[in-house]
Amino acid sequence: MRWEAKIITHKKEKRIAVYFEKNAELIVRIKKLTGSRWSQTLGVWHLPDTVENRERFHLAPPSYSLPSEDGIEQIEKFKQILRSKRYSENTVTTYSEALKSFLVFYREKAVAEITNEDVIVYNNEYILKNNLSASYQNQIVNAIKLFFQTIRETKMIVDKIHRPKNAKTLPNVLSKEEVKLILNAHSNIKHKMMLSLIYSCGLRCGELLALRPVHIDSKRNIVLLKNSKGKKDRITPLSPKILEMLREYYVLFKPTTYLFEGANPGEPYSEKSLQSVLKQALKKIGITKPVTLHWLRHSFATHLLESGTDLRYIQELLGHQSSKTTEIYTHVSTKSIQQIKSPFDDL
């Protein structure tokens, strides 16, 4: 069944027109899509121009215009303020892009005239209309709040900007058997070493890639994590088995600046390549779950909890500011749950 889709303007509204030879099955399917309509004049089925529909019909995402000149100037000032506060460049980019999306929506309105009501309209008319996630909405809210805290002349009351209700999602955790299969999947010691260190120390991806040889303290059996998330240093225990592997790895690869370097000596291994290492491991052992590197960190925390480690220590090891963040692992630990007898067994 062949079809073609393109963006059209119909009755002063952008729509996605879907062209195909008359086919009963396709007509039934397109009728089920929200907002689908048949145009007798154009002789075509058409749908709302949303991000979801563009993805469904393999169309490029909408090309949004730039904010107003005032908006562009304010975004640049915002970036400078974030940098002066020592925010990471990744955070500067994330927040400024989120703010840009908001100011593009209000490009016809002076920044100083934007109100709390405008944030609600933006959430309803852009975020919800395009089926964007609550986490993305929360990111936008963070950027808006931080931005308007730095603007002197404004009608915005920052404390009254509301956040979306957080979804109660649980962290994804692997069993110890699955972790073992993943860590042993690679014969390449470098690949095995990187995945093993993430799990054994509960590291974030960026923390692993920022490690330098001097951060491995073999005498005290600790790993020093410098300038981690939130600009904080912390330490994590170094497993004796990991230390043995590291010594073997060091002899073979002789890293200079970073513990794990890419093709060019002195440059860190790339995040994309590290993700590829995990994907290759999953393929080799036949695990089809959508496992990410962060699952290894989640599994580290959960397995520690199940083995009886105090939650406060786990919080320190993970570098969590709030104990509430760490407490989520109590909901995925199976140690106590597995001991509960189902009433079904007594029927």
Q: Where are the domains of the chain?
A: 3-56, 69-160, 176-331
As given in the structure block, the two tokens for residue 208 are: 């692993």
pLDDT value, residue 155: 81
Is 204 considered catalytic here? Answer: yes
pLDDT value, residue 332: 63
Is 37 considered catalytic here? Answer: no
Catalytically annotated residue among 145, 190, 204, 234: 204
How many CA atoms, within 13 angstroms, populate the side-chain half-sphere of residue 36? 13
Please state the pTM of the whole predicted model: 0.61
Is 64 considered catalytic here? Answer: no
At the top level of CATH, the class of 69-160 is mainly alpha
Looking at the chain, list the stretches that DSSP marks H as alpha helix, in order from N- to C-terminal side: 24-31, 51-56, 69-84, 89-105, 116-122, 134-150, 176-183, 189-201, 205-210, 240-253, 271-285, 293-306, 311-318, 323-327
Q: Low-confidence residues of the chain, pLDDT below 50?
A: 1
pLDDT value, residue 60: 64
pLDDT value, residue 278: 94
Q: Yes or no: is domain 176-331 CATH 1.10.1660.10?
A: no
Yes or no: say if 48 and 56 are a contact pair by the CB < 8 Å rule: no
How many CA atoms, within 13 angstroms, populate the side-chain half-sphere of residue 180? 4
Is 297 considered catalytic here? Answer: yes
pLDDT value, residue 63: 52
168-180 confidence digits (pLDDT tens): 667 788 899 999 9
Is 329 considered catalytic here? Answer: yes
